[in-house]
A and B are shown apart, each in its own frame.
Chain A
Amino acid sequence: MNKTEIFTFKWFLLPLTAITITGAILMSFGLIQLLTFGLAYILFFFAYLFTATSKSSKADLSITAPAFRIEVLVKCTHCDYKEVKKFTPGDYVFKKLETCKQCNEGTLYIAGIYGIPLYPTEEESDV
């Protein structure tokens, strides 16, 4: 879970609903239970405020971390040799590399450079 998600409405609403339902059940038993419910509600509210305040003072260190694994697709100009290797600075598409080890005739070249996200990004829409 992302650190900022703790402040979202979802994480506020779920415990609140739980407290409300519990409170409603307790209410049927008498006045003192209602007061307990009220107190729990107040405590939760202030706990939420406190959490929101204290957490915000800490920065999320993961924000500047690399978000992609960069892969380099290497192909041969002569045969159907294919290889995926790790990106190294200085690589670019159509860069010529060494002679192909498979056919010993063609030259290996970078056919593509692409990024694979390290974390799941957007959810696929089902509508």
Chain B
Amino acid sequence: MLQLLPTGGEDLTSWIFQFLFLLFIILFSLYSQRFQLWIWINQIKASLLQLKQMDVQGRRIVIHMIKELGKPDFDPTQRVDELRETFFIDPVDKDPVGVLKRLEHLLDIMKENSTFNVKQLAPKASSEVLANIENTLEASMALYQIYRIIRHYFLLGKRNNNIFFIAQIQMQLPQIMKIAKAYFQALRAFADGIPIGDSIGPLVVSLLEWKHASCDNLEVIKTPARDIYASKFKIKNREVFILRATGPGGRVGKPGEAVFCLVKNNPNIKRIVTVDAALKLEGEKTGSIAEGIGAAIGDPGPEKYKIEQIATQTNIPLDAVIVKQSIEEAVTPMRKEIFSSAEKVVSKLEHIIETRVKENEGILIAGIGNSGGIGYPLKCGGSNE
């Protein structure tokens, strides 16, 4: 430190340099947090601009889609903006009795409202296109929500010079941006009707039907569950029931309710298998398959509860087959690795049917997930439209 002090015989330049250097140390020790805050604020600002850009572009895609495919006789812009502000209030859970029924009721109302509103916006669109518009609008709403929340905390932190707010956003920013980018790509996929990673469940059960059902073997079953397709066919003298969301428009339906009804009405069903996309842990391979016990379904609760309830009531084993993928891969167009895993899951299901179900007994296989871009393997004529 003593070396920093000027010694006799040095010129003015050394003095100035030394003064500047000491000034820098003093400034940095007093205002280092401010400098840090400044850098973080600018980093968040850059990301916020990107979020805004994605939100604006997403909104534009939705409006364009409605105008092009729905052909409304009015400008849908204002109504789309209103719908993007829609919110959902969770049911009170301080008294947990009947919370799932109340949640299901609210979710049903939300779905009905959403379908009704989209139908009003796009009166000339087919039911499949309407389902895709609904999904696209939901993705746009998710992007808008992310943008608004980040903007809220950013402005709050900036206004109050609160480093804690800013630091929290800055540290979570890479993850948030990853999710936002995934939602934007999901929005594009929904708009075009491209299957997403989550569509693996419907794809697998449809492949199973494609492989084993024939015109004299296939029976389409009507269920009271909303947006659900169910059918029955035989594999090696075992009755195989399959169910999935109706397609090729993007829907998830109510698979829990469908499983409940099918098992209740068909006492021959002796096993339930759910097939779904599941979140992989970091380092795990995309598209890898795992088998386990329980209901593989990522709903807010009511559907999973119904599957578990009927399985427990009837004492039926509940198996799950999952295809691993990250959250980004689950909502973006289906990767080739995930698509390739569908055949392997079908082989696994065939093995389960052969080894765990006796002859003349039934098994129910539920393909859980968004059915966007997945039609029906109708080999006996008919149309997917």
Contacts and interface: CB of A to CB of B under 8 A. Distances in A.
A127 B282 CA distance: 11
A125 B194 contact: no
A90 B129 CA distance: 9
Contacts of A42: 20-21, 24
B188 A63 contact: no
Nearest to B336: A114
The B interface is mostly helix, strand or loop, or mixed, namely helix
A114 B21 contact: no
A117 B35 CA distance: 38
Interface in A62-77: 63-64, 66-68, 70-71, 77
B181 A63 contact: yes
Contact of A115 (B38, B247, B335): B335
Contact of B46 (A4, A35, A36): A4
A55 to B, nearest CB: 7
A35 B18 contact: yes
B14 interface: yes
A81 interface: no
A70 B333 contact: yes
A94 B375 contact: yes
Contact of B184 (A64, A70, A89, A94): A64
B53 A53 contact: no
Tier of interface size on chain A? 35 or more
Given A93-B374, A127-B283, A52 B39 contact: yes
A64 B17 contact: no
24 contacts: A7-B42, A31-B3, A31-B14, A35-B17, A35-B21, A39-B20, A42-B20, A42-B24, A56-B43, A56-B49, A57-B46, A59-B49, A59-B52, A60-B50, A64-B57, A67-B332, A68-B332, A70-B333, A91-B193, A94-B374, A114-B339, A116-B335, A125-B282, A125-B283
Interface of B: 3-4, 7, 10, 14, 17-18, 20-21, 24, 35, 38-39, 42-43, 45-47, 49-50, 52-54, 57, 181, 184-185, 188-189, 192-195, 203, 206, 210, 247-248, 282-283, 326, 332-336, 338-339, 342, 373-379, 384
